[in-house]
Amino acid sequence: MANILVTGGAGFIGSHTCAALLEKGHDIVVVDNFSNSKPEALKRIKTITGKDFKFYELDILDFDALDKVFKENKIDAVIHFAGLKAVGESVQKPLEYYHNNITGTLMLIKAMRENGCKKIVFSSSATVYGVDNPVPYVETMPTHTATNPYGYTKVMIEQILTDVSVSDSEWSVALLRYFNPIGAHKSGLLGEDPNGIPNNLFPYIAQVASGKREFLGVYGNDYDTPDGTGVRDYIHVMDLADGHLCAVDYVLAHTGVEAVNLGTGKGSSVFDVLHAFEKACGKELPYKILPRRAGDIAWCYANTDKAKELFNWQAKYDLDEMAADGWNFTKKNPNGL
Ligand code: NAD
Ligand code: UFG
């Protein structure tokens, strides 16, 4: 078992992954600055697993603080979740996004290199496939056409990590391209708890179901898809967490760089997600058709062959279970974490 540094471990995907790592028997050290999360998530990881771990409240832009973490702990590998992720906000605040995500990653890689830790699993995104590639997305497709600053931070960090790996063959890098993570931990203790008005479909629907929002705005029903709404590859956050366990095993045992899609390979429309949530919460949820949202595409889903071959990993949960677990979290935490 290994000692894993988790950046952004208090966040949505990070917290579920921390629980999975501890349950598998790994040790973890978590760093976060709570810019988009709450300390409560860390308490709940401990409640779920019955295990304790070290936590440092720090900003990954602070090299000295990161360096200290490596000096005080023997870290075998890093899972790097920390980053800003709101697409719309990244268009308004490009400098903040480039600085936080790219400079933050540069500081992290520098601290890793100086302390002899050269194994990293990075949170990339399906957004790197841009608008020109046909679905299903395959890892070998070109990835240089992001549509917003957030997407470009992922494209650039993938390039930086690839260049680092080329420059020094001791590095081992997994670039995990997530599709659309939704759902929540089975316990109902962890889930997605966005600040303010949710940008993403699933947490928005959850807030309509809990009565916080009046109706779901459906961004366009005139796409070239079966019901006219956008199609995405929704993946249960626990499946995603499980994918990270495989990626950690992989980077511990190999060197070089691999990009790997983490999705289900199945596309679901906005109405499919809405209806699954209605089934979970047992009531009809109001919606209105609105104009298309700028930057959205009609289709986005993964080819999942590489994850199966390289990691022997495959998503297990279907949309109904994602909705049921998401609703369980919403019901148990009406005011979030
Ligand atoms: P999140 O916002 O819930 O988690 C990110 C965490 O990083 C938060 O706890 C935040 O406080 C922390 N953080 C941000 N900047 C930091 C900094 N400078 N120093 C220290 N901590 C910092 O987001 P998430 O949904 O859990 O996403 C995790 C990662 O996965 C992100 O890199 C995101 O871009 C990527 N990703 C997410 C999705 C998605 O739909 N959720 C899809 C693809 C990729
Ligand atoms: N949608 C609505 N109403 C809403 C929110 C979303 O109709 O209130 C629709 C969108 O138009 C889209 C679908 O629901 O068709 C999914 O939208 P999300 O905002 O939930 O997710 P995206 O696919 O747009 O983007 C997400 C993350 C990105 C990431 C991308 C690919 O937000 O960070 O998945 O992984 F890059």
Say which DSSP state 55 is in. E
Give the mean model confidence (pLDDT) for residues 268-285.
98
Q: pLDDT, tens digit, for every residue of 89-100? A: 999 999 999 999
| Residue 70, ligand 2, Cβ within 6 A | no
In this structure, is residue 54 part of a structural domain?
A: yes
Q: What is the model's pLDDT at position 235?
A: 99
In this structure, is residue 189 part of a structural domain?
A: no
Give residue 4 CA to ligand 2 midpoint distance, Å.
30
Catalytic position from the list 137, 150, 204, 234: 150
For the domain that residue 64 is a member of, what is the CATH number? 3.40.50.720
Cα–Cα separations (whole angstroms), residue 270 to 13, 105, 219, 255, 278: 22, 33, 9, 39, 12
How high is the mean pLDDT of the chain? 97
Q: pLDDT, tens digit, for every residue of 59-103? A: 999 999 999 999 999 999 999 999 999 999 999 999 999 999 999
Of the bound ligands, which one is closest to the alpha carbon of residue 32?
Answer: 1
Phi, psi of 196 (to 5 degrees): 70, -150
In whole angstroms, what is the distance from residue 230 CA to residue 293 CA? 10
In this structure, is residue 256 part of a structural domain?
A: yes
| Residue 141, ligand 1, Cβ within 6 A | no
Give residue 266 CA to ligand 2 midpoint distance, Å.
15
Say which DSSP state 259 is in. E
Domain range holding 87?
A: 3-183+234-263+303-315
Q: What is the model's pLDDT at position 177?
A: 98
Beta strands across the sheet bearing 3-7:
54-57, 27-32, 3-7, 77-80, 119-125, 172-178, 256-262
Residue 195 has pLDDT above 90, yes or no: no
Give residue 8 CA to ligand 1 midpoint distance, Å.
6
Phi, psi of 174 (to 5 degrees): -115, 120
In this structure, is residue 336 part of a structural domain?
A: no
Helix (H) or strand (E) holding 275: helix 270-281
In this structure, is residue 332 part of a structural domain?
A: no
Q: What is the model's pLDDT at position 273?
A: 98
In this structure, is residue 216 part of a structural domain?
A: no
Q: What's the whole-model pTM score? A: 0.98
- What does the chain come to in residues? 337
In this structure, is residue 222 part of a structural domain?
A: no
Give residue 43 CA to ligand 1 midpoint distance, Å.
18
Q: What percentage of the chain exceeds 90 in pLDDT?
A: 98
| Residue 179, ligand 2, Cβ within 6 A | yes
**DSSP secondary structure of 198-227:** --SHHHHHHHHHTTSSS-EEEE-S-SSSTT
Burial of 221 (0-12, 13-18, 19+ CB in 10 A): middle
- Nearest CA owner, ligand 2 atom 7: 218
- Nearest CA owner, ligand 2 atom 24: 296
Establish whether 204 is a catalytic residue.
no
Give the mean model confidence (pLDDT) for residues 175-199.
96
What's the domain count of the chain?
1
Q: pLDDT, tens digit, for every residue of 25-54? A: 999 999 999 999 999 999 999 999 999 999
What type of residue sits at position 296?
D
Q: How confident is the model at residue 145 (pLDDT cuts 50, 70, 90)?
A: confident
In this structure, is residue 35 part of a structural domain?
A: yes
Pocket test for ligand 2, best of 219, 237, 272 (most atoms within 8 A of CB): 219
| Residue 296, ligand 2, Cβ within 6 A | yes
